[in-house]
Every structure is written in C-alpha cells, then in structure tokens.
C-alpha cells in the first residue's frame, strides 16, 4: 500500500523554524527575520496543501515588500570593523523604533541596544563602546552616541524629489530637537536616566543619602547577614550623593 499522505502536524515538523533575531538587534521587520512571531510560523506550517502555502507566500510578500518563496532567504550577518562602521550601523538599528513610530525617542524602546545600555545591560554597553574603540561603556560614549542618534534621525516629510522619484515620509526628530540635543552635548537629564533604570525603585528598597541608608541598616541589622558591615551602596549611575540599600548590578 502507498504511504499515507503526511498530516499537517508532520509537515509542520519538517518545515524549518524561523531564524531567531540577535539579542542586540531591534525586533522589527526591517532588521529581524521576515516572521518574528512563532505563532505565525506555526500557522503557516499547518497549511499543508502547497496551494495554501503559495497563496500565503504571495499575500505575505505583498504585505512586507518581499519576493520569492516564504523560506527563500537565510539569516544574514555582516562583519563590522570597530569604530565608525559599528557606530553608524548601531544607530541605524536603534533608530528603527523611532522610524516605525513605536516611540518618540530611542531610549524609550527597551529592546534596542541603546535602551538596554541605558538600563545597565553589560552586553549592549560593550557592543556600543566598540564604536568608539573602547572596551567599556562611559558617560562620554553615552553622550556622543546620543548626539549621533539625533543627527542620523532627522525626520523627512517625503514626496517627489527633483529627479521625479517619490520618497516616503520618514518619522524622526525635528531640526529643533536635533539642535537642542547637540547643545546639551547628549547629556540625559537625571529623570530620564531614572526612568531607564526604574528597577532601583522596585529592587533598591531604600534610596537616599549614605547616612539615611546606613541609619535604616542599623535599625534593621538583624535582617542582614553577619558579614554585612554597612548599608549604603553606591549606585551604578550618576545620581549625586544618592545611595541604595542593595548593591544592584
């Protein structure tokens, strides 16, 4: 007897899984795999008849400006030299959420490298620091990268160009916003830094001057181990004389 036709479940198992996005890339259609939702991939795989898969491929290509079969293109990686190449490539990726209208400022998108670096993610900080030939993240790198982001992220109204081509509108920053950021030297106000590091308010338990935190520590001494000698811990971000009860990394 001939072998039975494969069930939709077996067909789904044979199809390759969609490629996963890298940790430091922004999760958007322009920088990640064509399909970023595993549920979408599964539902596609369950369309066992080839005609159904063909129709879905045609529809998906029209929606996303693609061509060819659904699984035609593979994951691509680009080798970048430390320095200028890393700076501009990182800025392009971190500006995608702004261009897509998901947020007004790149630091508001927590899944991009810049937002993660401001929140304290070590891998993101090391990656961005390489754009300046550094091994470690610093306030200078943070300021200079922010100025670069605003310089590269100018908004464009779109429309017909002088040579007859049509250019799509591109969301971004106004000229006034860019000039203000350059004037500030890329320095984020403390309230924005706090918003990016909001975990201090949930994990820190006690925030304040060294004497304030130490006084609380002495009052609740029995709650801490014998090896703990002091209460106040310096924050990993610049907040003046403010300290935290916990040593947050």
| pLDDT confidence of residue 75 | 61
Is there a single domain that holds both residue 142 and residue 225? no
Is there a single domain that holds both residue 111 and residue 169? yes
Within a domain: residue 146?
A: yes
Within a domain: residue 29?
A: no
| pLDDT confidence of residue 245 | 82
Q: Residue holding tokens 């181990």?
A: 225
Within a domain: residue 127?
A: yes
Tell me the β-bridge partners of 244.
207, 233
| pLDDT confidence of residue 44 | 45
| pLDDT confidence of residue 28 | 45
Within a domain: residue 204?
A: yes
Q: Residue holding tokens 């971190």?
A: 94
Within a domain: residue 117?
A: yes
Is there a single domain that holds both residue 151 and residue 119? yes
Is there a single domain that holds both residue 176 and residue 209? no
| pLDDT confidence of residue 79 | 84
Cβ(119)–Cβ(108) below 8 Å: no
Distance between the two ends of the chain, CA-based, in angstroms? Answer: 65
Is there a single domain that holds both residue 113 and residue 174? yes
Radius of gyration of the CA atoms of the chain, in A: 25
| pLDDT confidence of residue 52 | 64
Is there a single domain that holds both residue 223 and residue 170? no
Within a domain: residue 249?
A: no
**163-194 b/e (C-beta count within 10 Å ≥ 16 → b):** eeeeeeeeebbeeebbeebeeeebebeeeebe
| pLDDT confidence of residue 99 | 92
Q: With CA atoms as reference, report the closest residue to 139 among 94, 190, 100, 102.
A: 190
pTM of the predicted model, to two decimals?
0.56
Is there a single domain that holds both residue 174 and residue 94? yes
| Residue 125 to residue 115: CA distance in whole angstroms | 10
Is there a single domain that holds both residue 114 and residue 177? yes
Is there a single domain that holds both residue 211 and residue 137? no
Within a domain: residue 106?
A: yes
Q: Domain of residue 97: give its range.
A: 84-158+165-188
Q: Which helix (H) or strand (E) holds 8?
A: helix 8-14
**10 Å Cβ neighbour count for 53?**
19
Is there a single domain that holds both residue 238 and residue 181? no
Q: What is the per-residue DSSP string for 65-100?
A: T--S-TT-SPP------TTHHHHHHHHHHHTHHHHT
The tally of domains found in the chain comes to 2
pLDDT by residue for the chain (249 residues), tens only, comes to 555 544 444 334 444 444 444 444 444 444 443 434 444 444 444 444 555 667 788 888 888 777 777 776 666 677 888 888 889 999 999 999 999 999 999 998 888 999 889 888 889 999 999 998 888 999 999 999 999 999 999 998 888 878 888 888 889 999 999 999 999 999 988 777 777 776 555 555 788 888 898 898 888 888 888 888 888 887 766 667 888 887 755
Is there a single domain that holds both residue 127 and residue 205? no
Angle at 176 between CA 87 and CA 157, to 5 degrees: 80
Within a domain: residue 217?
A: yes
């Amino acid at each position: 007897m001939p072998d039975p036709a494969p069930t939709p479940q077996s067909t789904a198992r044979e199809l390759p899984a969609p490629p996963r996005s890298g940790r430091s890339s922004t999760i958007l259609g322009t920088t990640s795999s064509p399909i970023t939702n595993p549920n979408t991939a599964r539902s596609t795989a369950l369309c066992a008849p080839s005609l159904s898969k063909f129709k879905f491929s045609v529809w998906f290509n029209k929606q996303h400006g693609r061509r060819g079969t659904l699984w035609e293109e593979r994951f691509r990686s680009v080798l970048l030299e430390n320095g200028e190449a890393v700076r501009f490539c990182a800025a392009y990726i971190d500006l995608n959420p702004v261009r897509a209208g998901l947020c007004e400022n790149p630091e508001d998108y927590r899944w991009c490298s810049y937002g993660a670096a401001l929140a304290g993610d070590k891998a993101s900080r090391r990656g961005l620091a390489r754009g300046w030939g550094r091994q470690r993240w610093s306030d200078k790198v943070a300021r200079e990268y922010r100025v670069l982001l605003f310089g590269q992220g100018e908004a464009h109204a779109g429309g017909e160009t002088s040579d007859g081509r049509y250019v799509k509108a591109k969301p971004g920053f106004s000229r006034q916003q860019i000039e203000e950021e350059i004037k500030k030297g890329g320095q984020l106000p403390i309230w924005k830094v706090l918003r990016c590091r909001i975990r201090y308010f949930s994990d820190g338990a006690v925030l304040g001057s060294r004497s304030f935190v130490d006084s609380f520590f002495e009052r609740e001494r029995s709650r801490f181990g014998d090896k703990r000698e002091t209460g106040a811990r310096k924050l990993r971000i610049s907040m003046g004389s403010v300290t935290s009860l916990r040593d947050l990394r």
